Amino acid sequence: MINTRIIFFFLGVLITFIGFAMVIPYIFEASIKGLNSKNFLISLFFTLSIGISLVIAFKKKEEKINIKDTILITALSLPILVFFSSIPFYLDKNTKYFADAFFEATSGLTTTGASIYENINALSKGILIWRAMLQWIGGLGIIIFAIAIIPIFNIGGIKLFTQDWSEKPLSLHYRSKELAKILGFIYIVFTIIIFFLLYLSGLSVFDAICHAMTTVATGGFSTQNDSVGYYNSFFTEIVIVIGMLLASLPFTLYISSFRKKLNIINDSQVLAFIFIIFSFVIMITIWLHISNNIDIITALRVSLFNSVSIMTGTGFTTENFSNWGSFCTTLFLIMMLIGGCSGSTTGGIKVFRIQVLYLLIIKELKTIKSPRSISAINFKNANINEGIINSVMIMIFCFFTSIFFIATIFIYYGYDFVTSFSAAITSICVVGPGLGNIIGPSESFYQLPNNLKYVLSLGMIIGRLEFLSFLIILAPKFWTK
């Protein structure tokens, strides 16, 4: 049975949290007597009044939250938080339409990194820190959602669409609440380390804070129009590359490594991720050197940073890679689709699903060769049952169906193939910049029609939650007692 009281109570808590978070950009604005100080004050009072009212109105004696309540809270929380987070953007003079504000807030909380702002340098410090904070909050929320919440979604004894099903044997004997605390601690430590390294690399304190938050969240919001390319610092790029890679690995493995002194590099998903990403780096480096006549060291530098940024779904850039040729464009589209590891802040299909798909293909080929033989799919020393295979296949099907659906809408509006499909992949796989001359790395999503901005916002929300909650809610059986 669905408990509406507890659902509204939790939503009120989350809205209240967002309201209190607005205090930080308000302080930044007030300290410099910025024009947005009033806007943030209005936003935080409005948000807090709604959030606190819900908490007070629906607070009751402690009750156990059931699975249906958790699913509904998961499905409703992100779009609702996006709405309240978009208020400061809408009140800002640099935002014309609510669709723009909603798109920017969605891109922030889903850690996508796509932006509607054409001139980021014109934004106030309050707006810049708010953009970074949204991605930082969103990244932490996604890790907790992927590791501490998704595993409890069992219907009929079947674990649906669990990202980290293989982490269970790694002695993670923590309850969700305790696990969330540990994950939060690791997340904060990573942020602090990246901040200090970026500051040492020459960034100002403000820029280092913003880029540290958006790096660990693999979000990609920058404080400069030219993104990380503005600093033209190899040290800065290396720090961010390492930060993006660390944030793209399963956070549960960090816990397991500390507790059992396991070597995280020995994990098959991590090895596959590193192999895939550096294979793309090498291919693009060779292409840039031969076809674009760029010296090998420079080609390796720009290839490494931008490839890692795209593969991890971060969206930082140092070059306009849309001009690198069709070969690179194709590779970037593939990297956008794959994404990082499960249980991380990255988006995409995820490496472990690609591994499962590969093992399934190998099994079927063996069956064709020897029809009477019985072969099982073994991954991380565990047999993959039919339920896991089905969930992976359904998830991959949903990814591609959604991409084709959104791309078709763009084509209907008259956009070219690259723009249409890169926009679709960017939203569903929560990557960041698109490809082409319209939404490419040196452009923004501002010139898109408002209807398409809402479509992409919905794609980012569904893609970030990986269709899980929405698929379950659509099942008629979910609403029956």
| pLDDT tens string 231-245 | 999 999 999 999 999
Task: Tell me the residue range of the domain where 24 lies.
Answer: 1-94
**Is the pLDDT reported for residue 379 higher than 70?**
no
Q: What is the pLDDT of residue 74?
A: 81
Q: Would the pLDDT of 465 be above 50?
A: yes
CA-to-CA separations, 453 to 130, 277, 423, in angstroms, rounded: 20, 30, 10
Residue 222 confidence class, pLDDT cut points 50, 70, 90: very high
At residue 259 the predicted structure's pLDDT band, cuts being 50, 70 and 90, is low
Q: How confident is the model at residue 450 (pLDDT cuts 50, 70, 90)?
A: very high
Q: Report, as an integer, the average pLDDT of 337-350.
A: 86
Which pLDDT belongs to residue 157? Answer: 31
Q: How far apart are CA 250 and CA 448, in angstroms?
A: 35
What percent of the chain has a predicted confidence (pLDDT) above 70?
A: 88
Q: What is the pLDDT of residue 159?
A: 44
Q: What is the pTM of this model?
A: 0.90
Q: What are the φ/ψ torsions at residue 341 (nearest 5 degrees)? A: -90, 160
Helix axes 125-144, 98-109, angle to 10 degrees: 50
Structural domain contains residue 7? yes
Q: Report pLDDT digits (tens) over 134-180.
A: 999 998 887 776 665 555 554 333 343 333 333 444 444 456 667 77
Q: Rounded to 5 degrees, what angle do the CA atoms 24, 30, 31 make?
A: 90
Measured distance CA(356)–CA(165) in Å, rounded: 12
The lowest-confidence range among 286-290, 295-299, 349-353 is 349-353
What pLDDT was estimated at residue 409? 95
The answer to whether position 59 is within a domain reads: yes
Q: Pick the closest to residue 270 from 199, 167, 372 (CA basis).
A: 167
What φ, ψ does residue 155 adopt, rounded to 5°? -125, 120
For residue 47, being part of any structural domain is answered with: yes
Total domains in the chain come to 1
Residue 218 lies in a domain: no
pLDDT-derived band at 388, boundaries 50, 70, 90: confident
Inside any domain, residue 357: no
Is 247 contained in some domain? no
Percent of the chain surpassing pLDDT 90: 51
51 within a domain of the structure (yes/no) = yes
Confidence of residue 373 (pLDDT cuts 50, 70, 90): low
Average pLDDT over residues 18-40: 90
Lowest mean pLDDT among 97-111, 141-155, 423-437: 141-155
**What's the pLDDT at 99?**
95
338: nearest Cα among 387, 391, 284, 275: 275
Which of 219-228, 380-389, 436-445 ranks highest by mean pLDDT? 219-228
57: tokens are: 């109105």
The reported pLDDT for the residue numbered 149 is 59
Domain presence at residue 12: yes
Average pLDDT over all residues of the chain: 85
